[in-house]
Homo-oligomer: A and B are copies of this chain.
Amino acid sequence: MFNLCLFGAGRIGTIHANCAAQNPDVQIKYVVDVFPQAADKVAKQLGATVVDVESALADPEIHAVIIASSTDTHADLIERSALAGKHIFCEKPVDLTVERVETCIRTVKENNVHCAIGFNRRFDPMFAELQQAVRNGQIGSTEIIQITSRDPSPPPAEYIKVSGGLFKDMMIHDFDMARWLLDEEPVEVFANGSCLVDATIGEAGDIDTALVTLKTASGKLCQISNSRRAVYGYDQRIEAFGSDGMLQVNNKLENGLVATGSQGTTTAKPQHFFLERYADAYRLELNNFIEVLRGNAKPLADEKDGLNALLLAEAALESFKTKKAVAVNLKG
């Protein structure tokens, strides 16, 4: 039996905790949240107790923590959990600054705990099949990866202000996918972007539409296309092109009906947003974490992956500002 503590009783924390708790060997023992009401509600659902951070980490029966609190608390909780000898599952991003992430990595390493980072898309069955097929050589040598990632609608401007901006908040997932699929680290980043969707995003100093190009040392190329708004729903597609062909993953649709009428043939919209699209991925991600706790697996994405995605986001931001390609040196 593994006892877990959940930090952050919001929407995504609840999802992670429920996914973990579906495992018969897992008990969510504690829930910690700055909002007592939220903590109470989730604790009741999970049969858990509401405590504070200190108490939770002081309990020797706690094997691991799920960190799903606000981004600015991630690094602190990672370090305190690591020092307490707890294994860690932390939502992305680790932190918005490279220095802080590097400190976390050292602490995690020194305390010999596992730290899985919530790059949930690696667990999506469709993308996992794509990655496996690329690794198996189905397209020969990979040459171009094309990632299209569009949200259904922009978050409120207040969120934008604390989000770290499009590259660190939204495209960070795509940077991680790019690294995972390219199977060779990017060495160069170019970013362009615009504020086309919501003027208040521009006023908050951010962009809502972006194109980024990555290049690896051997010359493999990757394009990432982001928008904060797609009227048809969550647009999550990847295309991998290589010397022997092309592999594509298209959107998952809301239903399977094909309707033909006087206006043509219509199929459903993509599933609306990440909760629907990545429901399987969230489940598999926590299953993987439980296997890590059992000693049967390593995290599919760990703290170094968190750092490397952030380094790409930093480089993209610099490129966007300077209008130059920016060299990056990721940490193997």
What is the distance, in angstroms, from A293's C-beta to the closest C-beta of chain B?
A: 23
From known contacts A144-B227, A209-B143, A221-B211, infer whether A246 and B260 are also in contact, taking CB-CB under 8 Å. yes
Residues of B contacting A197 with CB < 8 Å? 143, 243
Residues of B contacting A123 with CB < 8 Å? none
Would you call A44 an interface residue if the criterion is a C-beta within 8 Å of the partner chain's C-beta atoms? no
Task: Establish whether residues A257 and B126, one from each chain, have CB atoms under 8 Å apart when the complex forms.
Answer: yes
Would you call A130 an interface residue if the criterion is a C-beta within 8 Å of the partner chain's C-beta atoms? yes
Task: Establish whether residues A227 and B143, one from each chain, have CB atoms under 8 Å apart when the complex forms.
Answer: yes
Bound together, the chains give a CA A209 to CA B196 distance in angstroms of 29
Would you call A70 an interface residue if the criterion is a C-beta within 8 Å of the partner chain's C-beta atoms? no
Would you call A308 an interface residue if the criterion is a C-beta within 8 Å of the partner chain's C-beta atoms? no
From known contacts A138-B259, A261-B244, A324-B324, infer whether A213 and B232 are also in contact, taking CB-CB under 8 Å. no
Closest to A254 in B: B264
Bound together, the chains give a CA A190 to CA B210 distance in angstroms of 13
Bound together, the chains give a CA A252 to CA B256 distance in angstroms of 9
Q: Which residues of chain A from 236 to 279 have any CB-CB distance to chain B below 8 Å in the complex?
A: 241, 243-250, 252-253, 255-269
Residues of B contacting A259 with CB < 8 Å? 133, 138, 245-248
Bound together, the chains give a CA A293 to CA B216 distance in angstroms of 51
Would you call A71 an interface residue if the criterion is a C-beta within 8 Å of the partner chain's C-beta atoms? no
What is the distance, in angstroms, from A244's C-beta to the closest C-beta of chain B?
A: 6
From B192, B230, B264, contact of A268 by CB (8 A): B264
The secondary structure that dominates the A interface is strand
Number of interface residues of A (CB under 8 A): 66
From known contacts A225-B144, A232-B245, A259-B247, infer whether A194 and B215 are also in contact, taking CB-CB under 8 Å. yes
Closest to A202 in B: B219
Task: Establish whether residues A269 and B262, one from each chain, have CB atoms under 8 Å apart when the complex forms.
Answer: yes
Would you call A223 an interface residue if the criterion is a C-beta within 8 Å of the partner chain's C-beta atoms? yes
Closest to A140 in B: B231
Residues of B contacting A248 with CB < 8 Å? 257-260
From B188, B213, B231, contact of A261 by CB (8 A): B231
Task: Establish whether residues B223 and A245, one from each chain, have CB atoms under 8 Å apart when the complex forms.
Answer: no
Bound together, the chains give a CA A269 to CA B265 distance in angstroms of 6
Bound together, the chains give a CA A138 to CA B211 distance in angstroms of 23
What is the distance, in angstroms, from A166's C-beta to the closest C-beta of chain B?
A: 13
From known contacts A225-B144, A324-B325, infer whether A241 and B230 are also in contact, taking CB-CB under 8 Å. yes
Bound together, the chains give a CA A325 to CA B193 distance in angstroms of 12
A interface residue numbers (CB < 8 A to B): 125-126, 129-130, 133, 138-139, 141, 143-144, 146, 148, 150, 188, 190, 192-197, 209-211, 213, 215, 219-221, 223, 225, 227, 229-232, 235, 241, 243-250, 252-253, 255-269, 323-325
Shortest Cβ-Cβ A-B pairs, 7 listed: A194-B219, A245-B261, A126-B256, A323-B325, A248-B258, A246-B260, A232-B260
| 13 residue pairs from A and B, CB less than 8 Å apart | A125-B255, A126-B255, A126-B257, A144-B225, A146-B148, A190-B192, A232-B262, A247-B257, A248-B260, A252-B256, A260-B269, A264-B267, A265-B267
